[in-house]
Structure 1
Amino acid sequence: MSPSGRYVALFKLPYENVSPKAGDAGQVILVDLKTGKEKVVAQSRGWEVQLGANVQWGKSDHELLFNDVDTLSWKAFCTVLDPFSGKKRHLGGTVFMASSDGRKIASYDLMKSTYAQVGYGVIVPKKLVKRNFGADQKDGITVIDINSGKSKQIVTLKDLYQTTIPSIQFKNSNDYEFYCFQIKWNPQGTRLLTTLQWAPVKGGPRKRSVITMRSDGSEIRTAITPEQWEKGGHHVNWTADGEHLSMNLNVDGKEGLELIEVKYDGSNLKTVFTPGSGHPSYHPKGLPLIITDAYPNESITARNGIVPIRLLNMASGKEENIVEIFVSKIDGEFRIDPHPAWDKTGRYVIFNGYINNTRNVFMADISEWLLKQGFSLK
């Protein structure tokens, strides 16, 4: 949703059941929530199935951000587009996530993202993409100032692996491939989190760790160790205070996951709701509410392709399903995650679904529910 709240930007895949091919273009769509009209404002060749072209907003409605690829040079970059005038410019790197104030973007090498997990990067001819053997000294996290275009790599994979505290180092690390997977700003724009993952070059299970840092790459800390994650877990995010992270994690050794909070340095881990599931997102105004969904195979579902959008109240320990949505039983690259998220006001919940044999995006206005529960958005 745009900074003014009037527009929603979406990405339309050119096809939904085939892996993307280098050079194939999808559409960037602008929806006017006041009139209900939508229009195509751009095309992009920098996409994959799960996140599209990472379409999001800068500091105003006149800055729409998305990834694209130059098919002559096969370089990937972030486009900054004014969707009303059509004026655009290219930044010197890709976007995974823009900061909450819309002034900076952060990314890692999204062309290599397919080696970490299919669906979250951009596609170029595979022969052009080198794998990372060992913790690479060139691949890493880059932050770009949207206004000036100034770009800086704040850490390399080698920095993350060798300097994070507590240490995650192990023997024979050069026999493993290392990659970042996802990079997320905290709401204040002061810290970043990423997942560092590694797997044996010759094949075998991967291991993962959640690592945080200041926005300049300093104070690198291990929030979740590989030993903690391998017991079972998924989907990490920041909480509203910008000091803590949330994650679905097995912390009691029993079947199923708990929704936990942990400080950016790995301390003060605690369970905040049971059971955990899906993609938890904390209310942006600090209300004791979490919106989440579930994967179709998680125990809280009927395993029939229909999943709940769960509204969790941490203060009362109660939950309510605001809707149940069909996402199909498709797994892997082509799965449909509802992945609910709040808008910045905390009034709307936006999520995906699969209706009429195609992917859809839905918005739910829960302001009346919030008022009935005694919550205020002022």
Structure 2
Amino acid sequence: MDRRTLLHTSAGLILSGLLPGIWSCSNPVLKQQAERYAFRPYRTGQTLGPTHIVTPPGRYFTNTYYNYNPWSPGGRYLALTELPYQDRVTKLGDIAYVVVIDLAAQRIRRVYPTRSWGYQYGALVQWGADDRTLYCNDVNGAGRAVGVRLDLTGNETFVTEGPLMDVDPARNIAIGPTLEYLNATQYSYGPPATGGEAGPMATLPPAASSEEGIWQTDLHTGKRTLLLPATELAAASTQEDQLGQYAHYVFSCRFSPDYRRIGIVQRRAWEDQQGKIHRNPSLLSYELATGRVQEAVSTQHWNMGSHHPTWHPDSTHFTMNMTPQWLGDDKLRFVQFRYDGGDFRVLSDSILGSGHPSIRPGGRYLLSDAYPFEPLAVGNGEIPIRLIDLEQQREHTVASIFTDLGQQYAIRRYWGPSKLDAHPTWNAAFDQVCFNGAPTGERAVLITDLTEFF
């Protein structure tokens, strides 16, 4: 490809070709002035620590996910996705914005327009190694979701060949599945489809593919390579697909904190005669040094009632919600286990699991939320942000927040592609919590300061 070739991203930015599939572009959005506004106190005296709504009213925002830190490395800034609406299913062509909030100055600035976004992951926004570098995704001129690196102090944006779901600690490589396929098993995680949830949806044929799986992108050159094909993941799974009826999707892949392994949620989906998609998920780990793939949670155990695994800070274990029926327990529990499924233990026999759990270093405190339909919901569409002392087997409520936001702005126990999850997540010091909610009926992001509690 000629270096002088020019294209446009789906959001209209002009791209100049460097290598096939690798582009740089001028980003005029970065020139916009930051807007000043005031953070709003939230239920003063009724939360575990001082809590504020840190996004401006009249607009809609989300953090990236419960296991992504939205604070910049220096701690001054917060990176979020601003959504164009909250009352409908996403469709390709609708533009969201990556935004940066200056927590000290109480200012917000749009820094990038993107068409690769969803209600659950936003634009998969995450920080680089410093306060000037951000990563997200966009849809390129060929209609494929690709990673983007933003320089917040300049005007240049670097667009890669590969998708971006996670970035290694040194910010040398990014990993991710083909993001368009995320919607095949659960809509509004990947970039929007042309017709929304009605499709047409990007899907894979039955059987594991040797040409799809987890992509690795060099963040210096922008080139992508297939790191781990789906065939290798299928080979490590205990539940065989003897009839070749499963379409094998990578739904999530995240580096362990020490960068030695990748945790992988695999979904082997099939559609029954009534049109229902059966996900058949499992959890695997991939060791970067040896290439070994091991199953941590089988499809059989996951399907007993399990969800939302994430790495423990020790990089050896996962934390997850599971219903350990094989142990004679039919309740949802917070559990912990090694990357190969060993060293399994229930973290509490008296406190029910829920939501999106993560562990504070040291292992004493667990953070989570709940769904509005779960037994732990507060009622009236509100859910608790839960902080559980595993040593004392005692639960604290960080805050209660309204999340039961359906498409009609009513309490309706809505479970669909535009649902709102709180997704509480820690800062780097593990003394502040960022979470989503709709305290005034608009999707907002809040922060609770727990420094005095700890």
TM-score of the pair, normalised by structure 2:
0.77
Q: Answer yes or no: is the 8 Å Cα contact 1:3–1:59 preserved in 2.
A: yes
What residue ranges of structure 1 are gaps of 5+ in the alignment? 371-378
1:118-158 per-position Cα deviation (integer Å, ceiling 9, x unaligned): 12111354558342321122110012232343433211111
- Cα separation, partners in 2 of 1:84 and 1:365, compared to 1, 3 Å: same
CA distance in 1, matches of 2:365, 2:148: 34
- Paired residues for 1:225-304 under 5 Å: 225-251=298-324, 252-273=327-348, 274-283=351-360, 285-304=361-380
Residue in structure 1 matched with residue 135 of structure 2 by the alignment: 65
2:400 counterpart (324, 340, 343)? 324
Residue in structure 2 matched with residue 373 of structure 1 by the alignment: none
- Paired residues for 1:151-190 under 5 Å: 151-162=224-235, 164=236, 167-172=238-243, 174-190=244-260
Amino acid at match of 1:2: S
Secondary structure in 1 aligned to 2:232? helix
Q: CA deviation at 1:287?
A: 4.8
CA distance in 2, matches of 1:237, 1:130: 26
CA distance in 2, matches of 1:315, 1:277: 19
Q: Answer yes or no: is the 8 Å Cα contact 1:157–1:179 preserved in 2.
A: yes
CA distance in 1, matches of 2:161, 2:155: 20
1:222 aligns with 2:295: yes
CA distance in 1, matches of 2:119, 2:420: 9
2:212 counterpart (134, 139, 142)? 139
1:5 aligns with 2:65: no
Residue in structure 2 matched with residue 374 of structure 1 by the alignment: none
Residue in structure 1 matched with residue 143 of structure 2 by the alignment: 74
Secondary structure in 2 aligned to 1:175? coil
Q: CA deviation at 1:82?
A: 1.0
Q: CA deviation at 1:323?
A: 0.7
Q: Answer yes or no: is the 8 Å Cα contact 1:97–1:184 preserved in 2.
A: yes
Q: CA deviation at 1:87?
A: 1.8
Q: How many residues align?
A: 365
Amino acid at match of 1:39: R
CA distance in 1, matches of 2:113, 2:290: 33
Residue in structure 1 matched with residue 451 of structure 2 by the alignment: 367
CA distance in 1, matches of 2:250, 2:289: 17
CA distance in 2, matches of 1:21, 1:301: 31
TM-score of the pair, normalised by structure 1:
0.92
Structure with bigger gyration radius: 2
CA RMSD of aligned residues (A): 1.8
Query: Which region of structure 1 is more displaced relative to structure 2, 36-45 or 329-338?
Result: 329-338
CA distance in 1, matches of 2:114, 2:151: 15
Residue in structure 1 matched with residue 420 of structure 2 by the alignment: 336
CA distance in 2, matches of 1:124, 1:115: 10
CA distance in 2, matches of 1:36, 1:322: 23
Q: CA deviation at 1:201?
A: 4.2
Q: Answer yes or no: is the 8 Å Cα contact 1:78–1:93 preserved in 2.
A: yes
CA distance in 1, matches of 2:304, 2:180: 30
Residue in structure 2 matched with residue 114 of structure 1 by the alignment: 183
Residue in structure 1 matched with residue 409 of structure 2 by the alignment: none
Q: Answer yes or no: is the 8 Å Cα contact 1:23–1:45 preserved in 2.
A: yes
4+ runs deviating over 6 angstroms: none
Amino acid at match of 2:331: G
CA distance in 2, matches of 1:75, 1:44: 12
CA distance in 2, matches of 1:22, 1:137: 28
Residue in structure 1 matched with residue 123 of structure 2 by the alignment: 53
CA distance in 2, matches of 1:104, 1:276: 34
Q: Answer yes or no: is the 8 Å Cα contact 1:41–1:83 preserved in 2.
A: yes
Structure having greater relative contact order (Cα 8 Å, sep ≥ 6): 2
Q: Answer yes or no: is the 8 Å Cα contact 1:196–1:208 preserved in 2.
A: yes
Q: CA deviation at 1:253?
A: 4.1
- Cα separation, partners in 2 of 1:295 and 1:130, compared to 1, 3 Å: closer
1:156-214 per-position Cα deviation (integer Å, ceiling 9, x unaligned): 1111001x1x6332320x22222111111111111111111123244453311111112
Q: CA deviation at 1:106?
A: 1.4
Amino acid at match of 2:354: S
Residue in structure 2 matched with residue 376 of structure 1 by the alignment: none
CA distance in 2, matches of 1:240, 1:347: 15
CA distance in 1, matches of 2:290, 2:218: 15
CA distance in 1, matches of 2:352, 2:169: 29
Q: CA deviation at 1:101?
A: 4.2
Q: CA deviation at 1:247?
A: 0.7
1:95 aligns with 2:170: no
Amino acid at match of 2:420: I
- Cα separation, partners in 2 of 1:272 and 1:194, compared to 1, 3 Å: same
CA distance in 2, matches of 1:217, 1:62: 34
Query: Which region of structure 1 is more displaced relative to structure 2, 195-204 or 288-297?
Result: 195-204
Give % identity. Answer: 28
CA distance in 2, matches of 1:73, 1:154: 22
Residue in structure 2 matched with residue 375 of structure 1 by the alignment: none
CA distance in 1, matches of 2:148, 2:425: 24
Residue in structure 1 matched with residue 430 of structure 2 by the alignment: 346
Amino acid at match of 1:271: V
